[in-house]
Structure 1
């Protein structure tokens, strides 16, 4: 699509928005707007960073968040580390899935945490902790083992390069329980990157991915090589869909084996 048409289409998508808040920090401006039943967070750009249904905050709106949550059908979460808070879609969904799960959330920008608390209804309970830290530094020093690590690190324009770094992948693997899963929102399909395959294969025995209808790619990596066949996993995810929270039936058909 020519740039002029793309810009026009994106501008029209902002029609009827109501400004709720804006905050600026050293990294840029954080915008919060309402549009019909939805609340949207943006980082310095016209693209949505996070989107929440104000009537059902616990239900993910974006398909890539649903795809990341599909990992809970692969292994029941006991504890979780979320790298990158945004508007809090993952932490709300996980807490709704099981309010007893211990969750640590790491977000580089302190103002994002403040805004998410004030405008995006993120849970404020004893078993959820929020850390205003760099994700790379946090995971490097971490000594806790998690059943799930969710990495969703994006700036206003693109995926943060940390998610492509060998030390980061290694440290995530070291922070997982033996049957735990690293779940990463990635910017390209992993099958297009032999170097990425080599990197992940150094630390993980099974690699899966899901390409969402919007084009986002979610990678699922576990150190265990004893994982069921892909078709069995698809059926497992399909049948695990609680209708009140999220529906994996479409996304389960997109689940593919990388290794």
Structure 2
């Protein structure tokens, strides 16, 4: 078994924040046995967790210029988006100062004018409204107990929709038990024209909601997935085959 070294160990009002390193991967953890983020040190832009890879399916439907990420973690999604999309502006909202500090210190976050990090409650932040609407909004709001159930609230879904452009996309990372939550599915359909989802096989149910129905054929999506896979460093086609329309 690979030896994991503890690089960082702190705690705030929400629980522990720990960073481990085994020489190949760096891991952010919020609880014993938990992996909030995993980054390969040699290729920080290549997503390691299945659910984060699945979330990148949104790039088949939109080529975003502006992205908002709710929940920073170790910032692995920032790495992937920054690498894959030329000129993209990324705004991440993170509740916990300790998490933001750990991401900047240990996870090689890209820096520059196109990266904005905001310390705030993501739910409140969306209710207040973004300064500018975005093409792509991704939610990855988790804590020591798991997914923040505020993500399921009608007001939050409505706020998200208001802050996304007319041709934009919302991606929600949920627990698998939301797969059979028909009320939540119908709620999303009130605000979005087309809604897709997939079971990652690791306990996550990733929902992709589009403001406008996609124009691509199945073959065109497959070709786009193959092309994007080389840029992302993993097979996006694998996740495309699991995606179904709700």
- TM normalised by structure 1 equals 0.88
Q: Structure 2: how far apart are the matches of 1:136 and 1:175?
A: 12
**Counterparts of 1:71 and 1:36 in 2: how far apart (Å)?**
32
* 1:20 to 2:7 alignment: yes
Q: Distance in 2 between matches of 1:256 and 1:111?
A: 37
Alignment: residue pair count: 245
Aligned to 1:47: 34
Instruction: Tell me, yes or no, if the aligned pair for 1:189 and 1:211 is still in contact at 8 Å.
Output: no
What is the root-mean-square deviation in Å for CA atoms of aligned residues? Answer: 1.8
Please give the alpha-carbon distance, in whole angstroms, between the structure 1 residues aligned to 2:64 and 2:71. Answer: 18
Query: 2:60 is matched with which residue?
Result: 73
Which has the higher relative contact order, 1 or 2, with Cα contacts under 8 A spaced 6 or more apart?
A: 2
Measured in 2, the distance between the counterparts of 1:21 and 1:121 equals 15
Q: 2:84 touches 2:232 (CA, 8 Å); kept in 1?
A: no
Would the aligned equivalents of 2:16 and 2:30 in 1 still touch at CA under 8 Å? yes
Cα displacement string for residues 111-136 of structure 1 (whole angstroms, at most 9, x for unaligned residues): 11111000001112111110110001
Match of 1:10 in 2: none
Matched, 1:94 2:81: yes
Q: Structure 2 unaligned segments of length 5 or more: list them.
A: none
Call closer, same or farther: CA 1:214–1:188 in 2, change over 3 Å: closer
Partner of 1:103: 90
2:168 corresponds, among 163, 168, 180, to 180
* Counterpart for residue 152 of structure 2: 164
With over 3 angstroms needed to count, the CA separation of the structure-2 counterparts of 1:133 and 1:22, relative to structure 1, is: same
Alpha-carbon distance, 1:191 to partner = 4.3
Q: Which residue of 2 aligns with 1:192?
A: 180
How many Å separate the matches in 2 of 1:191 and 1:211?
8
Residue of structure 1 equivalent to 2:107: 120
Give the 4+ runs in structure 1 shifted more than 3 A: 225-236
1:33 aligns with 2:20: yes
Aligned match of 1:250: 238
Contact persistence 1:146–1:177 (CA under 8 A): yes
What TM-score results when the alignment is normalised by the length of structure 2?
Answer: 0.93
For each residue in 1:127-185, what CA deviation from the matched residue of structure 2 results, as whole angstroms up to 9, or x when unmatched? 11101100011111114210000100111231101110111000100111111000111
How many angstroms apart in 1 are the aligned matches of 2:27 and 2:111?
Answer: 20
Q: Does the alignment pair 1:201 with 2:194?
A: no
Aligned: 1:84 with 2:65: no
CA distance in 2 between counterparts of 1:66 and 1:103 reads: 17
SS, match of residue 198 in structure 2: strand
